[in-house]
A and B are shown apart, each in its own frame.
With several copies, the nearest count.
Chain A
Amino acid sequence: MSKLSYLEVKNISIELGEFKLKDINLKVKKGDYLTIIGPTGSGKSILLETIAGFYKPKLGKIYLAGEDITNLPPEKRKMSIVYQDYMLFPHMTAFENIAYGLKKKIKSKEEIEKRIKEICEILNITHILKRNVKTLSGGEQQRVALARALVIEPEVLLLDEPFSALDVKTKENLRNLVKKAVKEYGTTVIHITHDFEDVWSLADRVAVMKGGGILQEGSVEEIFYKPSVNFVAEFVGTNVLKGEVIGKDENGLTLIKVGDTVVKSVDMGNGDVLISIRPEDVVVFYGEKRCKVKNIRRRGEVVEITLDLGGETLRSLLTPNMLKTLNVEDEVSISVDPNSVRIIKSLKQKISYKN
């Protein structure tokens, strides 16, 4: 077993009714933070539960630190899990829930109380510790579930949408907490989320799942900047455009013609190519009027504008301050940092890239 993979999922297959996890492979290094993203129903939770030992795979193996744990009972796996629906023990108070795993590890009552006090202050749930968990609000339950999993400082932490029921502020605080804890204890984390902010602020690596399989796995940059040419690009919201390499500029940057516009890229290529551009990397300004604004939509703090580049459609993300003067049907120019323009595929044959 190579040192590189602390946790390794090898050719795991599972069948549950009509749903199948198909031939899943994952390698996670010690201390790595892996987020799993993907549309609902793609099998993320099932994969997580399989790693934790709730499902027994039909085929395949799971290794932890080189040891085959496929048939190990869950209590021997040194993993703790935060369930999507919390699964707090309904017959215990919040405190008892959190103390539960700790009691097994430490005998000293004072030590237990100390540790719980610490984590609860950070999670801001000290005031509800005496409460029956059945009367807690959604977010409170989620924080108790998090505390229960974090407090035992597991080797591997499995999180299934752990922040979904929390408000922005709390979520922000918890991200910092998890980050700190993970760094401090060298915990390996697998974290399922629908919130790309989690990915950006926490993850080292990202796996994208769909329909029971992993479509792409890589660093955050790879997934967002060089998504594989299929569902992933669409899912992470990256623009994928057809272009034609028309040469190089004085700095050796590749010149690519997209519609009526030319962009520069640090990547090499020639002929027809597919390029990816993150919407937030596009700068829009009044210039040569090569593109047309098709749509402007406020999305929370940011504004998404859709541009027609003369055939190709490009989405761009701006802050509202940029927008005051922009209107639909305006003609504008764009500029993108060459570092943000990535060639992801050469088109030998002119294939369509829509999944």
Chain B
Amino acid sequence: MEKFKAFCIFLSFLFTFLLFMSILSLFLVPNPSEIISSLKTEEMIYSLKLSIATSLASTVLVILFSIPVGYALSRHDFIGKSIVKSILDLPMAFPELVLGLALLLLFGQSFIGKFLESFGIKIVFTKIGIVIAQFFTALPYAVRVIYSTFEGINPRYEFVSRSLGYGELETFFRISLPLAKNGLFASTIITFARCMGAFGAVLILAGGSYMNTEILPITLYLNISYGNLGMAITSGILLIIISFIAILIFEKFEGVNSSNFKKVESIRN
């Protein structure tokens, strides 16, 4: 068998194994009865529900907004584009604490915050704050991935669609988006995962208050603080399981829809 192929597959399994081992050791810390009883607490159920709800909402929002942004960055030229791109990438480099602070300054007692509050939209210390924090945590990743996906698509496809009578917008939805499928998959997975795991920014912007703005990462932190390790690790485990299931479903789904290139390269198997 070809050595390089073997090496690549070996590496994949190595990292999978390492991660698997480390996740497994997390599972071994509490004893099972502790996990079960933790799962049944009102707090855990609340936090689980809120986590899933906010992450889903944020993921949908992120994808909705990052698609037009990624598309604009790839297809249109405007002045200062590379600065715009860099600024949009930047939050990836922020420790979550900094991002949280920045969002707090933006949406807190600022002009924008007061403006929104006049419409009854409160962001700081609220559930909306959770979504906002998750949104800005994940947006840069999605934009970057979607941008680079559109870069790889020949604009002639869009042109053919338009010459067949479809307008700019219809063409976008019927041609550009489906062609960007791979990148959309990748960015959705990254976004959802990032939203589920977002902690620091949520903590600062939404406060992280018990049974109110409490999502799983905060439950985890709160319970470590309480000294309630069983609860803490259970919320960690729950987080892992939920994310794993979501990602697995998505990966399966991607597998079905993925490119047809592979079917033709029987020599490689």
Q: Do the two chains touch directly in the complex (Cβ atoms below 8 Å apart)?
A: yes
Binding site for B on A (CB under 8 A): 16-17, 52-56, 73-75, 77, 79-81, 83, 87, 89-92, 100-101, 104-105, 132, 134-135, 148, 152
Which of B2, B156, B264 contacts A73, CB < 8 Å?
B2
Stretch among B71-79, B159-167, B229-237 lining the A interface: B159-167
Known: A83-B160, A87-B157, A91-B181. A135 touches B165 (CB 8 A): no
CB-based contact A87/B260 at 8 Å: no
17 additional A-B pairs beyond A73-B162, A75-B167, beta carbons within 8 Å, are A52-B159, A53-B267, A54-B264, A56-B266, A73-B167, A75-B162, A80-B163, A83-B160, A89-B160, A89-B161, A89-B178, A91-B179, A92-B178, A100-B161, A100-B174, A101-B165, A152-B164
CA distance A73 to B265 in the complex (A): 13
Contacts of A132 in B (CB 8 A): 260
CA distance A80 to B166 in the complex (A): 12
CA distance A148 to B163 in the complex (A): 11
Residue in chain B with minimal CB distance to A86: B160
In the complex, chain B residues 138-177 whose Cβ is within 8 Å of any chain A Cβ: 154, 156-157, 159-168, 170-171, 174-175
CB-based contact A54/B179 at 8 Å: no
B119 close to chain A: CB less than 8 A: no
Known: A89-B175, A90-B179, A91-B181. A83 touches B156 (CB 8 A): yes
Question: How many A-B pairs with Cβ below 8 Å?
Answer: 78
CA distance A16 to B174 in the complex (A): 28
CA distance A73 to B163 in the complex (A): 8
CA distance A75 to B263 in the complex (A): 21
B261 close to chain A: CB less than 8 A: yes
Residue in chain B with minimal CB distance to A91: B178
CA distance A159 to B181 in the complex (A): 30
CB-based contact B263/A54 at 8 Å: no
Contacts of B260 in A (CB 8 A): 132, 134-135
CB-based contact B261/A134 at 8 Å: yes
CB-based contact A135/B179 at 8 Å: no
The 9 closest A-B pairs by CB, nearest first: A101-B164, A74-B162, A104-B165, A91-B178, A74-B163, A56-B267, A75-B162, A134-B260, A56-B266
Contacts of A17 in B (CB 8 A): 263
Contacts of B168 in A (CB 8 A): 73
Q: Most chain-B Cβ atoms within 10 A of its Cβ — which of A16, A104, A135? A: A104
